[in-house]
């Protein structure tokens, strides 16, 4: 192993965002381990990772001894498990404590900065689970980096603009459409996550992915898309009151996505606070790396639109 390489184990590495982390880790030359369930349905991706040189460890987070054994092989642990598995990370923490060798743990945050926002109750309950993991990590004195990646760019461009339905003439706008939201391209999130995870300066820090040029309002995003496609869309606004009512009346967990839309696109939760104190904004950390702009992401959608995805809430 070369001097700047770390052995990195990724939980949820076959997932929507985890797969970008695995690919970035391999690209940066780190020996990369992927912990995946024996009955995972991501067989093709696992084969692709193997052909790229990843080491696949099959197991479940409930298998404590297997977890400890896997952790003893590596230096850095990243969890990109989905929201329903957030509290399962307590089992990873228990194993990290026993293994005793882990130099950095990055829990599955990767959204709004949960220690800086307050949201409607369904989203608060979601964030509380992630906060609980952060507090458990701090209490156990496990070295960490907490990442706020803000909005996954392709995920939300798909959601807001429906580019995979080219005949759709109508776009839904949440609230006035004027609040800014930060959109980051998934490949960049993968790459910056690995850079930050292996950066000694980011030890026990909160790192926020918030390049200033990636903060756009929905109306700005629609206008950019209209220029690129040469189309004019009908904009249908859903008022803040309607969104709040939906968050109160939809059953759990369908009340979570509307509460996230409220927080991010009505209240501007990803863009409206000062980054200060010990917290770090990532975009100027590495001179050889930059975040793709929203304009560049939209160009990707013009040529080869990434498939729509939906996050798991149960
Ligand atoms: N900022 C944003 O815009 C945004 C958007 C979406 C999600 N997120 C966040 O990103 C993080 C990762 O979410 P994701 O959507 O990328 O995850 P995901 O793709 O839904 O799942 C990640 C992996 O978890 C494993 N998994 C799935 N179901 C499981 C189960 N029942 N038990 C154990 N493991 C299971 C699977 O791996 P194996 O099959 O290999 O075991 C899967 O590939 C979460 O914290 C989520 O809240 C953020």
Mean pLDDT, the chain, rounded, equals: 97
**In the predicted structure, residue 122 carries a pLDDT above the cut 80:** yes
Return d(Cα 205, Cα 144) in angstroms, integer: 7
Burial class (CB in 10 A: 0-12, 13-18, 19+), 273: middle
Q: Could you tell me the pLDDT band of residue 9, with boundaries at 50, 70 and 90?
A: very high
Residue whose CA is closest, atom 36 of ligand 1? Answer: 12
Ligand 1 atom with least separation from CA of 40:
39
Going from the Cα of 155 to the center of ligand 1, the distance in angstroms, rounded, reads 13
Are 201 and 286 within 8 A, CB to CB? no
Ligand 1 atom with least separation from CA of 83:
47
**In the predicted structure, residue 261 carries a pLDDT above the cut 90:** yes
pLDDT, residue 4, reads 79
Return d(Cα 214, Cα 255) in angstroms, integer: 27
pLDDT, residue 56, reads 98
pLDDT, residue 290, reads 98
**74-86, pLDDT tens digit by residue?**
999 999 999 999 9
**In the predicted structure, residue 3 carries a pLDDT above the cut 80:** no
3-state secondary structure the chain: CCCCCCCEEEECCCCCCHHHHHHHHHHCCCCEEEEECCCCCCHHHHHHHHHHCCEEEECCCCCHHHHHHHHCCCCEEEECCCHHHHHHHHHHHHHHHHHCCCCEEECCCCCCCCCCCCCCHHHHHHHHHHHHHHHHHHHCCCCEEEEECCEEHHHHHHHHHCCCCCCCCEEEEECCCCCEEEEECHHHHHHHHHHHHCCHHHCCEEEECCCHHHEEEHHHHHHHHHHHHCCCCEEEEECHHHHHHHHHHCCCCCHHHHHHHHHHHHCCCCCCCCCCCCCEECCCCCCCCCCCCHHHHHHHHHHCCCCCCCCCCC
**220-242, pLDDT tens digit by residue?**
999 999 999 999 999 999 999 99
Return d(Cα 87, Cα 80) in angstroms, integer: 12
For residue 311 and ligand 1, the question of a CB distance below 6 A is answered with yes
* Longest Cα–Cα distance in the chain: 59
The mean per-residue pLDDT over the stretch 107-133 comes to 98
**In the predicted structure, residue 177 carries a pLDDT above the cut 90:** yes
Strand ranges across the sheet with 55-58: 55-58, 32-36, 8-11, 76-79, 104-106
Catalytic one among 91, 97, 130, 227?
Answer: 130
pLDDT, residue 253, reads 98
Residues 6 or more apart in contact with residue 185 via CB below 8 angstroms = 153, 154, 291, 292, 296, 297, 300
Q: Could you tell me the pLDDT band of residue 268, with boundaries at 50, 70 and 90?
A: very high
Are 11 and 79 within 8 A, CB to CB? yes
pLDDT, residue 166, reads 83
**179-224, pLDDT tens digit by residue?**
999 999 999 999 999 999 999 999 999 999 999 999 999 999 999 9
The mean per-residue pLDDT over the stretch 245-267 comes to 98
Return d(Cα 12, Cα 19) in angstroms, integer: 8
pLDDT, residue 94, reads 98
Q: Could you tell me the pLDDT band of residue 254, with boundaries at 50, 70 and 90?
A: very high
Residue 71 dihedral angles phi and psi, to the nearest 5°: -65, -35
The mean per-residue pLDDT over the stretch 95-103 comes to 98
Q: Could you tell me the pLDDT band of residue 275, with boundaries at 50, 70 and 90?
A: very high
**24-51, pLDDT tens digit by residue?**
999 999 999 999 999 999 999 999 999 9
**280-314, pLDDT tens digit by residue?**
999 999 999 999 999 999 999 999 999 999 999 99
Burial class (CB in 10 A: 0-12, 13-18, 19+), 200: exposed
The mean per-residue pLDDT over the stretch 252-265 comes to 98
The pick from 54, 82, 126 for probing ligand 1's pocket by mutation, whose C-beta has the most ligand atoms within 8 angstroms, reads: 82
Ligand 1 atom with least separation from CA of 17:
16
**In the predicted structure, residue 8 carries a pLDDT above the cut 80:** yes
pLDDT, residue 2, reads 74
Assess whether 141 carries a catalytic annotation.
no
């Amino acid at each position: 192993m070369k001097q700047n390489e770390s052995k990195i184990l990724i939980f949820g590495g076959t997932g929507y965002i985890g797969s970008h982390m695995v690919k970035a880790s391999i690209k940066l030359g780190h020996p990369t381990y992927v912990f995946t369930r024996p009955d995972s349905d991501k067989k093709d991706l696992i084969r692709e990772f193997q052909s790229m040189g990843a080491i696949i460890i099959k197991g479940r987070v409930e298998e404590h001894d297997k977890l400890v054994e896997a952790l003893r092989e590596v230096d850095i642990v990243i969890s990109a498990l989905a929201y329903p598995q957030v509290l399962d990370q307590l089992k990873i923490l228990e194993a990290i404590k026993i293994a005793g060798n882990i130099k950095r743990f990055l829990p599955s945050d990767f959204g709004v900065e949960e220690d800086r926002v307050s949201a409607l109750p369904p989203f608060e309950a979601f964030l509380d689970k992630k906060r609980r993991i952060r507090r458990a990590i701090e209490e156990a004195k496990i070295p960490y980096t907490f990442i706020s990646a803000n909005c996954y760019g392709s995920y939300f461009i798909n959601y807001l603009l429906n580019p995979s339905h080219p005949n759709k003439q109508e776009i839904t706008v949440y609230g006035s459409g004027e609040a800014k939201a930060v959109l980051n391209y998934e490949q960049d999130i993968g790459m910056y996550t690995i850079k930050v995870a292996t950066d000694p300066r980011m030890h026990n820090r909160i790192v926020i992915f918030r390049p200033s040029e990636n903060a756009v309002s929905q109306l700005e995003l629609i206008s950019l898309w209209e220029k690129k496609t040469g189309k004019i869309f009908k904009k249908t606004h859903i008022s803040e009151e309607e969104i709040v009512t939906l968050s109160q009346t939809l059953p759990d967990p369908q009340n979570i996505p509307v509460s996230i839309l409220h927080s991010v696109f009505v209240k501007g939760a990803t863009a409206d606070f000062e980054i200060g104190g010990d917290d770090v904004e990532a975009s100027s950390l590495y001179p050889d790396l930059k975040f793709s702009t929203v304009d560049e992401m939209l160009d990707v959608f013009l040529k080869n639109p990434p498939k729509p995805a939906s996050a798991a809430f149960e």
